């Protein structure tokens, strides 16, 4: 049996690592519905036999509950496989969570003191001098279609060209809405939308558009 701890997007590496550590502690594997690697689709690709999904969201999130089911249905349809997949009650709804909160309140506490010195920094008031900003959709549909691989291919190719944040600022986003056209990559300035991007197309975006200044997507019509 394969146990998968399913989380939503994680905005920082510490949170991402925490999900992986929690999964490892209980003999499971971590995966993500959107915004991080590995995706639920990728984790299912590597699974054999029965699969049990444990939704790891706090607080309760009907969005995640809905999209887990949709993602599994899409995976079955797109992969042509029919693993037995079940889902547990979300961690947020487990009675033991109440006990964990009580234990935290009864346990040791650390008083918070000090000043907010690093809360603001002059460096954080400067907009980077980038020539382009690239939005990579990492919503649940685009993630299911391969957005994680697109983001990796784009970043690696920009690195090969020596293009850093002062040249191209890459920003992962939530849903950009034209989900049926995903994975989506949008380049500003120019408002150029690239549809159905795969790793090969991501490399071409880095080469032709971001390095050489030659967009190849058709202009948007308003």
Of 5-14, 16-25, 195-204, 212-221, least confident by mean pLDDT is 5-14
CA distances (Å), origin 158, targets 9, 69, 78 = 23, 35, 30
How much is the average pLDDT of 85-95?
A: 92
CA nearest to 182, candidates 165, 164, 202, 163: 202
pLDDT of residue 86: 97
CA 191 from chain centre, in angstroms, equals 23
Q: What span, in angstroms and rounded, lies between the C-alpha atoms of 146 and 161?
A: 23
Predicted confidence (pLDDT) per residue in 177-194, tens digit: 999 999 999 999 999 999
Q: How are strands ordered across the β-sheet holding 2-7?
A: 29-32, 2-7, 51-55, 85-87
Backbone angles phi, psi at 102, to 5 degrees: -65, -40
Q: What span, in angstroms and rounded, lies between the C-alpha atoms of 209 and 74?
A: 32
pLDDT of residue 163: 96
CA nearest to 55, candidates 22, 12, 83: 22
Confidence (pTM): 0.83
pLDDT of residue 13: 65
Predicted confidence (pLDDT) per residue in 40-68, tens digit: 999 999 998 899 999 988 777 787 788 89
User: Which domains does the chain carry?
Assistant: 2-94 (3.40.50.1400), 125-211 (3.40.30.10)
Which residues are CB-contacts of 52 (< 8 A; sequence separation ≥ 6)? Answer: 1, 2, 3, 4, 85, 86, 87, 88
């Amino acid at each position: 049996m394969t146990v998968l701890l399913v989380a939503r997007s994680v905005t920082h590496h510490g949170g991402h690592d925490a999900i992986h550590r929690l999964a490892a502690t209980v003999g499971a594997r971590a995966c993500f519905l959107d915004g991080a690697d590995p995706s639920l689709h990728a984790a299912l690709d590597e699974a054999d036999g029965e699969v049990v999904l444990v939704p790891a969201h706090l607080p309760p999130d009907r969005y995640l509950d809905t999209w887990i089911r949709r993602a599994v249905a899409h995976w079955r349809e797109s992969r042509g496989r029919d693993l037995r997949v079940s889902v547990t009650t979300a961690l947020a709804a487990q009675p033991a969570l109440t006990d964990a909160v009580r234990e935290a309140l009864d346990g040791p506490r650390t008083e918070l003191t000090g000043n907010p010195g690093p809360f603001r920094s002059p460096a954080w008031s400067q907009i980077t001098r980038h020539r382009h900003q690239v939005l990579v959709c990492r919503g649940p549909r685009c993630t299911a279609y391969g957005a994680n691989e697109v983001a990796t291919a784009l970043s690696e190719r920009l690195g090969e060209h020596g293009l850093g944040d002062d040249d191209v600022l890459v920003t992962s986003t939530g849903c950009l809405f034209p989900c049926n056209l995903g994975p989506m990559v949008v380049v500003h300035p120019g408002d150029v939308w690239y549809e159905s991007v795969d790793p090969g197309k991501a490399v071409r975006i880095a080469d032709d558009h971001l390095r050489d200044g030659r967009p190849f997507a058709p202009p948007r019509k308003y």
